Amino acid sequence: MYVLVVSDINECREFRHLCVNGRCENLIGVFRCECNTGYQVDETGGNCTDVDECLNPDNCLYGTCINRPGGYECRCPPNFELNPAGTGCIGPYATRIFLTLITLGGLVV
Ligand SMILES: [Ca+2]
């Protein structure tokens, strides 16, 4: 006769500094990190590190991308403003120029 004893260590309670910038979830035999928005599980699986959104140029078109903990900032050059989605910079006259070009081209929208 065999007696199988299964014990689980709650790593989330036993070890401090697990899943920094996230939430530790204890599972049988292991644990898992649920990271906060803007963070991803690092290579050790034991912590959450900031996502560098600036590595993706689509996150800040025509602007200067500045990585921040848990997010990023898209700074626009003078006379440009951030688009509503926060993913790029648009000039104040961009819409007017576009409409003028359509008129000059004889296109009617
Ligand atoms: Ca970031």
pLDDT at residue 103 is higher than 70? no
- How far does the centroid of ligand 1 lie from the alpha carbon of residue 95, in Å? 31
pTM, rounded to two decimals: 0.70
- How far does the centroid of ligand 1 lie from the alpha carbon of residue 68, in Å? 4
Q: Which residues surround ligand 1, an ion (CB under 5 A)?
A: 50, 67, 72
Question: Kind and range of the H or E element at 72?
Answer: strand 71-75
Question: Tens digits of per-residue pLDDT, 3-48?
Answer: 666 678 899 999 888 999 999 999 998 999 999 999 999 999 999 9
pLDDT band at 100 (very low <50, low <70, confident <90, very high): low
Question: Tens digits of per-residue pLDDT, 43-55?
Answer: 999 999 999 999 9
Are 91 and 79 in contact by the 8 Å Cβ rule? The answer is yes
- How far does the centroid of ligand 1 lie from the alpha carbon of residue 5, in Å? 44
Using CA atoms, how far apart are residues 16 and 12, in angstroms rounded to an integer? 7
